[in-house]
Amino acid sequence: VLILVAVAMFLLVIVVGVAVDYSRAQAVQARMQSALDAAGLDIVAEMTLYDPSTDGTPDHYLQVLATRFFNANFPDGYLESSPVILTTELIHHIDVVEIIDVGVNLTATSTDPTDFMHILGVSSVPVSAFTQVVVLSAYRSEFAFVIDNSAAMNLPIEGVPRIQTVQ
């Protein structure tokens, strides 16, 4: 009976240890995915400011932006993870002479050290995240400012009709 309890306790420690290591890897992956998503959205917004005369090639500019935005949201060594390798790809689809959509593919990879799984010979767990942000019809967007001209706009605000206040 004592041998059976000892084996059961050993297996229980291994199972709990694997669960702890897996949970930590999942926490790193979730934070990495969140940082990557935020970086992708920031990059697409920032790419409109790209100036080839000062920013270099589009791929270099994209890598600089991705690194800056990702590092702002994912600190080095988060939960003891290894340094992150960040890869970027600028994507765009061209129809005849017009750019239809632009965007970025971002991939982050890292390894998370294990505390308990190294007993089983697994010293680290690979962790990765991917995001793709695409802005459709980037150069064909239209914006409209609409003013309500119904009877409600003739009601006064501080003695002045609303329509006059808006104009």
User: CB–CB of 129/112 below 8 Å?
Assistant: no
Q: Identify the pLDDT of residue 102.
A: 73
Half-sphere exposure of 86 (CA within 13 A, CB side): 26
β-bridge partners, 108: 86, 129
> Which residue in this structure is represented by tokens 């971002």?
106
Q: Identify the pLDDT of residue 98.
A: 54
Lowest-pLDDT range of 6-10, 61-65, 117-121, 141-145: 141-145
The Cα diameter of the chain in Å comes to: 91
Whole-number average pLDDT of the chain: 83
Please count the other Cβ atoms lying within 10 Å of the Cβ belonging to residue 80. 12
Lowest-pLDDT range of 106-110, 137-141, 150-154: 137-141
SS3 35: helix
Task: Confirm whether pTM is higher than 0.75.
Answer: no
